Amino acid sequence: MRSSITKEKLSWWGHALVHPFDGFYEIRFRNQGSLLLAFLLMVAYGVLRCISAQYAGFVMNLTNLEELDTLSLFISCISVLLLFSLSNWTVTTLFNGKGKLSDIYIVVCYSLTVLIIGEALVCFVSNFVTTEEVMILQSIRMLCIAWFAFLLVAGLGTIHEYSLGGNLASIFMSVVAAAIILFIGVLLFTMMERMVSFFSSVGDELMRRL
């Protein structure tokens, strides 16, 4: 079952981080991915972002702790990942992509591993470095982001069986689709909020008159 975590699935998770084309091929076409492991990685990433915002060294941490809402930060991190997975599935379904929504979700979450490792390292070490040494940590962070992007591109291209150009185009369209979904969601939320406020005002007025 894809929800289980076995020794073999853990080995393919590690293999995908170094050999993404082979690793994600096995994960997609030979059922070596784990939705549970993907979920745990997503949660770990959200928690780590909250920890980093609070406990990273002052030489790198620009967060205003008085205004920090860790729950909102956690939800926003999770929402971005889920929204991208959904938008990529929507776009690739229209353009003959082979990957299922669960496959996309696994690729996205597995790729987060390098960000989790890099952010944990940077957060810890940032408490012991001077301002002159910050550039080293920034370079580590950028390297992890670049590797994450490579894993994501390689993984999505493998599961959808796209060429490089088609894969990059689908990712770009996924970002656009995510922005559209977000805009529509905010618009609907705003309209519902105004409708509730309107009916509430009408109800209050009727109560006063009665």
CA dihedral over 120, 125, 130, 134, signed as positive or negative: negative
The answer as to whether 167 is a domain residue is yes
- Give the contacts of 178 (CB within 8 A, at least 6 positions apart): 83, 84, 86, 87
Backbone angles phi, psi at 128, to 5 degrees: -125, 10
Q: How far is CA 52 from the centre of its chain?
A: 16
Count the domains in the chain: 1
CA dihedral over 156, 160, 161, 163, signed as positive or negative: negative
Question: What pLDDT sits at residue 209?
Answer: 67
Evaluate if residue 54 carries a pLDDT over 60. yes
Question: What pLDDT sits at residue 99?
Answer: 87
Give 90-141 pLDDT, tens digit per residue.
999 888 888 899 999 999 999 999 999 999 998 888 888 887 778 888 899 9
pTM: 0.85
| HSE toward the beta carbon, residue 183, CA cutoff 13 A | 6
Task: Please indicate whether residue 179 or residue 189 has the higher confidence score (pLDDT).
Answer: 179
The answer as to whether 93 is a domain residue is yes
The answer as to whether 2 is a domain residue is no
- Angstrom distance (rounded) from CA 40 to CA 124: 21
**Structural domain for 123, as ranges:** 7-209
The answer as to whether 59 is a domain residue is yes
The answer as to whether 32 is a domain residue is yes
The answer as to whether 1 is a domain residue is no
Alpha helices (runs of H) in the chain, residue ranges in sequence order: 7-18, 20-29, 35-55, 70-94, 101-125, 134-160, 164-209
pLDDT band at 150 (very low <50, low <70, confident <90, very high): very high
- Angstrom distance (rounded) from CA 39 to CA 52: 20
CA dihedral over 28, 34, 40, 43, signed as positive or negative: positive
The answer as to whether 196 is a domain residue is yes
The answer as to whether 156 is a domain residue is yes
Residues 10/37, Cβ–Cβ less than 8 Å: yes
CA dihedral over 150, 145, 136, 52, signed as positive or negative: negative
Question: What pLDDT sits at residue 143?
Answer: 94
Name the packing angle between helices 20-29 and 7-18 (round to 10°).
Answer: 140
State both tokens at 181: 């979904």
- Angstrom distances, CA of residue 85 to CA of 7, 92, 97, 126, 181: 26, 11, 13, 32, 12
